[in-house]
Amino acid sequence: MCGIVGYIGPKEKKEILLDGLQELEYRGYDSAGIAVIEGKKLSNFKAIGKLKNLREKTKSYKSEGFGISIGHTRWATHGKPTELNAHPHLGAYSYVVHNGIIENYQNLKEELQKDGVTFLSQTDTETIVHLFEKFNNAMNDPFPAFQKTIEKLEGAYATLLITEAAPDTIFFAKNGSPMLIGFDGEEVYFASSDTPIIGKANEVYYLEDGEYGFVKEGKVTLFNEEGEKNFTKQALTADKISAQKDGYRFFMEKEIYEQSHVMTDTMMGRVLDDSIHFEELDKDFFDDIYAITICACGTSYHSALASSYLFQRLGKMRCDVEIASEFRYKEPFLTRKTLFITISQSGETADTLEALKMAKTAGMKTLSICNVDNSSIVRESDVAILTRAGIEKGVASTKAFATQSMVLWMLSLYLGQVRETVSEEILKREIDAMIHTPKALIVDEKLHAKLTRLSKRYLHGHGFFFIGRDIFFPLALEGALKLKEISYLHAEGYPAGEMKHGPIALADSELFTVALMPKTMHYDKIKSNVEELSARDATILAISPEPFELADDFIKTQYDSHPMLEFFEMMVVTQLLALEISVRLGNDVDMPRNLAKSVTVE
Ligand code: F6R
């Protein structure tokens, strides 16, 4: 969470920082701030809320001449989203920005307070700047003081520090949270991901955990626990795929409409006429693998859950799915014959990344399915398969889920192919359905208009149940998550057959049930489950190719030949329903409250 930028050089710094933060705003938008030191001139601005507030506040400010600068956009962890808690945090003569959590900050803070330091904020971050100044006051040497500060920190951090004691230097450290350094001749940039520096820098170095150092006169001096370290820069793409809204009202809407064509990219070179091919996987990739464990969070966890049905059905392999934050602390029994898969849109999710590190430590083979190349999860995995969804800007994930689901479907079929657990007939049937998927994802304008109309009936009540069976159960979980994220209405996903074991007690006319009723999968069973709810007066929104007379509202889908085609078509319906309810409620669709796009804290 949180986004960091930094710049050292002669250019105007305010615009560089604000432009960079704009690209990172998806990581958090509770507050933002910048700090600039030019010679003896120190400037610092902070504003709560979105970046536009900081822009407004800095309207009449312009930096001049050579200087050092840092900026931050915050997703609050310690302390409310107030201006005092916004970064950069100030000591007596230094500023710091930080992404992550300093786990031992309470102890550090108490020690500093005993020394007479007054804290202005409730954040863990502020301890860094005071600790640094304490050491620097004693040593009068900023880099060793910074080094000593870093040694004291426990937890995850990416941090930048500037100080009047060294007005030509930026100090940096990374451990567990992402940060990279961009280069353009003598000018040096820092950022949490590469988008803020594309078009500005031409080379990049992705910092590794445990690395820290300083930059001065265009030169980066880098250290890790073994001492000073050489590093190799790599070329940075100059091609900024700027994610504009292209006439859509929201990024989320654009991304729902985009799903059809990004899916073609996801399949390109992988779905062949009569086989599945992954150039990322060696022929013997699955040799000696007897089970799969998948670990992920949120939406990515839902795609994993859906795939567990497919890995068993097509690949005839045991597949367990774990929520990453739970997996980490359950002391899991890990064996080398189990393939460990992580799924992540951003590739930076702290819980997933840590789970992956555990699997690696246990000697497991690791594969990640990710949307962001060069992200921490991709770099940490033995092998990565990219989902090719393009930049996803809406905080509520849509096309990432669709493309993850597709990669997992392809992978389960690939497994069936190499293990010879699928017949030629099944292989052909699956490939045929895959090829039709982009069509099933095309948004029908009439359907969208109908959902816009229907949405007005679903703004009250005491909650939603999304229900489904088999792979439609994870889809129900995902539909409910989408709705609650952007509408702030209570919604739950449930296996349809489980309703009678408790939740049906909630049924009355104010309980909205969104029933996923595919023709190709247990239609009669789910029909009975929905009838039970209808008999108790629940309001039913049925989504099905088959007309259902007990439905209060009915969305007719087109595909009825393959479960995955029904899956993708129904996915679009649930996404649009959530979108339109959120719009009617006047919520911020792309940046819903309390959320961030990339969750880099535990
Ligand atoms: C929901 C959503 C989140 C993410 C979760 C994991 O719309 O986006 O639930 O799926 O935070 O993020 P990634 O996939 O980046 O690891």
Residue to mutate, 75, 251, 349, ligand 1, most ligand atoms under 8 Å from C-beta: 349
Minimum CA distance residue for ligand 1 atom 9: 298
Gap from CA of 203 to ligand 1 centroid (Å): 29
pLDDT band of residue 242 (cuts 50, 70, 90) is very low
Gap from CA of 100 to ligand 1 centroid (Å): 17
Q: Where in the chain is the domain with CATH 3.60.20.10?
A: 3-244
DSSP output for 179-207: -EEEEETTEEEEESSSGGGBTTBSEEEEP
Mean pLDDT of 592-599: 84
Terminal-to-terminal C-alpha distance of the chain: 10
pLDDT band of residue 244 (cuts 50, 70, 90) is low
Atom nearest to 404 CA in ligand 1: 14
Residues 6+ apart with CB under 8 A from 361: none
84, pLDDT greater than 60 = yes
pTM: 0.79
Determine if the peptide bond prior to 88 is cis (ω within 30°).
yes
What is the pLDDT at residue 173? 98
Q: Where in the chain is the domain with CATH 3.40.50.10490?
A: 251-440, 445-584
Residue to mutate, 26, 294, 345, ligand 1, most ligand atoms under 8 Å from C-beta: 345
Instruction: Please give, one letter per residue, the 3-state secondary structure of 98-137.
Output: EEEEECCHHHHHHHHHHCCCCCCCCCCCHHHHHHHHHHHH
Residue range 297-335, pLDDT digits in tens: 999 999 999 999 999 999 999 999 999 999 989 999 999
Residue range 215-233, pLDDT digits in tens: 999 999 999 999 999 999 9
Gap from CA of 91 to ligand 1 centroid (Å): 35
pLDDT band of residue 123 (cuts 50, 70, 90) is very high
For residues 153 and 175, give the distance between their C-alpha atoms in angstroms, rounded to a whole number: 10
Q: By C-alpha distance, which of 374, 362, 370 is closest to 333?
A: 362
Mean pLDDT of 448-471: 94
246, pLDDT greater than 80 = no
Q: Is 233 known to be catalytic?
A: no
Residue range 336-394, pLDDT digits in tens: 999 999 999 999 999 999 999 999 999 999 999 999 887 899 999 999 999 989 889 89
Residues 6+ apart with CB under 8 A from 467: 473, 476, 493, 494, 495, 496, 499, 513, 514, 515, 516, 526, 529, 530
What is the pLDDT at residue 239? 60
390, 365 Cβ separation under 8 angstroms: no
pLDDT band of residue 243 (cuts 50, 70, 90) is very low
For residues 437 and 430, give the distance between their C-alpha atoms in angstroms, rounded to a whole number: 11
CATH of 445-584, one of 3.40.190.10, 1.10.150.120, 3.40.720.10, 3.40.50.10490: 3.40.50.10490
Which architecture, in CATH terms, is 251-440?
3-Layer(aba) Sandwich (3.40)
For residues 310 and 302, give the distance between their C-alpha atoms in angstroms, rounded to a whole number: 13
414, pLDDT greater than 50 = yes
User: Which residues lie across from 138 on neighbouring strands?
Assistant: none
For residues 180 and 162, give the distance between their C-alpha atoms in angstroms, rounded to a whole number: 17
181, 188 Cβ separation under 8 angstroms: yes
User: Which residues lie across from 171 on neighbouring strands?
Assistant: 161, 214
pLDDT band of residue 1 (cuts 50, 70, 90) is low
Residue range 514-551, pLDDT digits in tens: 999 999 999 999 999 999 999 999 999 999 999 999 99
Minimum CA distance residue for ligand 1 atom 11: 298
458, 581 Cβ separation under 8 angstroms: yes
Residues having CB within 6 Å of any atom of ligand 1: 297-300, 344-346, 349, 352, 396-397, 481, 485, 599
Gap from CA of 347 to ligand 1 centroid (Å): 10
Q: Is 597 known to be catalytic?
A: yes
Mean pLDDT (the chain, rounded):
94
504: how many CB neighbours lie within 10 A of its CB?
18
What is the pLDDT at residue 374? 79
> 3-244 domain in CATH 3.60.20.10?
yes
77, pLDDT greater than 80 = no
What is the pLDDT at residue 168? 96
